[in-house]
Amino acid sequence: MSGPDGSALVVNGRAHPIDGVPSHERLLDTLRGRLDLKGTKEGCRTGNCGACTVLVDGRSALSCLVLTHEVGDEPVTTIEGIAADPNGRRVQQAFLEEGALQCGYCTPGFVVALTGLLSESPGATAEELLTDLQGNLCRCTGYAAIVRAVRTLRAEGP
């Protein structure tokens, strides 16, 4: 069954036809199951953990709580495309330098969410960024290095 506006889903700059995607399918499942973009992780599937965070038109969204056909023509950016964004590259570099991951499952969500925050609020302080990162959970509880990565980013200035 095709969706109501059913044309294409633009992910990381590439358009994918979604006419065959069922109306009830979530963006998370389309990305992972159809487009083979496995960097976006499924955590809780209830909007509580942030592991599935992607950018929709530059703003963070929980891809487990978005129907694929509801995205319309707004461009989607996943972790696979985040390095094309200068803020995304800076976040990746900071996470790399601080070793801000343990098992790594939550990392794509953190990187994408933080990239979105930097674009939305370029002047935000480290504390403000950390407050708004509270939607992302790390089950390894490896927060100390993530906090260091955020402070590193802010020490560089906006």
Partner 1 sequence: MGFELVAPRSPEEAFRLLEEGAGAASVLAGGTDLLFDLDRVTTAPRRVVSLRHLPWRGHAWQGDTLVVGSTEPLYELERDGSVAARLPGLHTAIRAVGSRALRHRATLGGNLARAAPASDLLPILLALDATVEIAGPAGTRRMELDRFLLASRTTALRPPELIRSVTVPAAPSVYLWQRVRPANDISQVGVAIAHPGPAVYRIAVGGIVPRPRRLPGAEAGLLSDPPPGPERVRAAEEAAREAPFPSDRRATEEHRRRVVRALVERGLVHLAGGAA
The one among 17, 47, 86, 104 contacting partner 1 by CB under 8 A: 47
117 binds partner 1 (CB under 8 A): yes
What is the smallest separation between the CB atom of 137 and partner 1, expressed in angstroms?
A: 7
Q: Please give the DSSP secondary-structure letter assigned to residue 38.
A: T
The one among 67, 124, 126, 147 contacting partner 1 by CB under 8 A: 67
Dihedral through CA 45, CA 77, CA 121, CA 98, nearest 10? 80
Q: Which is nearer to partner 1, 6 or 145 (CB)?
A: 6
The one among 12, 30, 40, 53 contacting partner 1 by CB under 8 A: 53
> Quick one: tokens of 113?
């969410």
Contact 112, 37 (CB under 8 A): no
In the stretch 78-107, what mask flags binding to partner 1 with x, by CB under 8 A? ------------------------------
141 binds partner 1 (CB under 8 A): no
Q: Which residues, numbered 1-30, are part of the site for partner 1 (CB under 8 A)?
A: 1, 3-5, 22-24, 26
- Cα–Cα nearest to 54, from 71, 30, 76: 76
138 binds partner 1 (CB under 8 A): no
- Cα–Cα nearest to 76, from 18, 9, 21, 26: 9
Bridge partners of 77, per DSSP, are: 55
- Provide the edge-to-edge strand list for the sheet that holds 76-77: 14-17, 8-11, 76-77, 53-56, 59-62
Q: Given the rule CB under 8 A, which residues bind partner 1?
A: 1, 3-5, 22-24, 26, 45-50, 53, 56, 59-62, 64-67, 69-70, 72, 113, 116-117, 120, 132, 134-137
